[in-house]
Structure 1
């Protein structure tokens, strides 16, 4: 298991865990980051990421990406 920030661009990963406070987890789940879901990194700039999750592109910052374990 590793944080999403360490995933390579273009590589599909399965979400294994979503960490953080309750409100942070709920926010990420509403964006589509659920356990067992697929997430693909589109691009990464200074740790901030654009990812494909549930047929949508989502931009998340480094702190949020570190809470998503793949």
Structure 2
């Protein structure tokens, strides 16, 4: 399922990252890698606040749809 559909407060493993090569590189630079853990903290102004690699990151709804957990 896409990260956008994930329950708040639960930890998930990233199974796939979609999108163009540029999008994949950008997400990788933010810490989103296949096999990595991610937790949705909250939603704010249409963006998801997530915890990835001990860091909180805001991702847009569009990017969250490309991250499969």
Length-normalised TM-score, structure 1: 0.94
Summarize the alignment of residues 45-60 of structure 1 with structure 2, pairs less than 5 Å apart. Answer: 45=44, 47-60=46-59
Q: Offset of 1:44 from its aligned partner? A: 1.6
Contiguous gaps of at least 5 residues in structure 1: none
Contiguous gaps of at least 5 residues in structure 2: none
Which residue in the other structure is 1:24 paired with? 23
Question: What is the alpha-carbon distance in structure 1 between the residues aligned to residue 66 and residue 46 of structure 2?
Answer: 13
Length-normalised TM-score, structure 2: 0.95
**Off by >2 Å, runs of 4+ in structure 1:** none
Number of matched pairs: 69
Q: Offset of 1:46 from its aligned partner? A: 5.8
For the aligned residue pairs, the C-alpha RMSD in angstroms reads 1.0
